[in-house]
Amino acid sequence: MRELRYRTIADQLRRRMEAGEFPAGRLLPSEAELSEAYDASRVTVRRALDTLRDDGLVDSRQGFGWFAAGDPVRQALGRLGTIEEQLEDSGATAERRILDFGFVKATKRARDVLGCDTVLRVRRLNLADGEPFARVTVWAPESLGHGLSRADVEGSSFYDLLPVSVGGATQTIGAAGASAADAALLDIPPGSPVLRCERITSDRAVRPVLLSEFVFPAHRTEFVVDLPSVDASIAPSGLRLVD
């Protein structure tokens, strides 16, 4: 009976996924919730989930739980681009939702990078095929952002809106645990793995014009670096240890 029961649960979950209830990247109910919903033991539920994982339909991460499997979005670091461009390159439909827009006192980090006391701060949620993909916060000097509106930044990239030409950027990527606020936005458990990226964008005179912070659920994105063959080393030049 137990063997038939786990197959029944697996089949029911498979049908729910085929119906679109759990699109790629979406968290499934916890094992405890599934046990209660299907009136089955955790062992039986886990065996059903393992069956779906063997079929490539679900996956799991330590401290995160089970989620509908899907190819992560691969973001190339060899060129400067936007999240929307990366998502479209992967075949996903990109959407942005503005959470906050306003001129505020600069944080210490924003002041140190941008050299000003007042900044335009924009917080947004980026979605891929309707699912939360990244929480993004961008700070721009007041002198560059004073003519922008909420509608402007909802419809276009800062790179298209700034009154200066963008020259390049430096991006730092590290691992972190999701804060309670980010977890709620990204629909993931608090403390679950995220990738945190800080990007400092400069103009052609190498003056910083944007400070950006990106938080990605770790199961939904990968960063790719092409390493040219060199005699001395194949390590990325920007690699450094975290104290």
DSSP letter at 80 equals -
**Could you tell me which residues come within 8 angstroms of residue 212 by beta carbon, excluding any fewer than 6 positions away?**
136, 137, 138, 139, 197, 198, 199, 200, 201
What is the pLDDT, as a whole number, of residue 10? 92
Please give the structure tokens belonging to residue 73: 């979005």
What is the mean pLDDT for each group of 10 consecutive residues in the chain (243 residues)?
Answer: 78 90 86 92 91 89 81 73 79 90 96 97 93 94 95 93 92 92 92 92 95 92 76 49 46
CATH 1.10.10.10 fits 2-68, yes or no: yes
What is the pLDDT, as a whole number, of residue 144? 96
**Could you tell me which residues come within 8 angstroms of residue 3 by beta carbon, excluding any fewer than 6 positions away?**
none
How far, in Å, CA of 36 to CA of 42, rounded? 9
| pTM, full prediction | 0.78
- Which residue from 22, 2, 4 is spatially nearest to 187, judged by alpha carbons? 22
How far, in Å, CA of 124 to CA of 28, rounded? 25
For the chain, first and last CA: distance in Å?
54
DSSP letter at 93 equals P
Domain edges within the chain? 2-68, 73-224
CB count within 10 Å of CB 44 equals 22
Domain 73-224: state its class. alpha beta
The burial class, CB within 10 Å (0-12 / 13-18 / 19+), for 189 is: middle
How far, in Å, CA of 149 to CA of 44, rounded? 54
214: Cα within 13 Å, side-chain hemisphere: 23
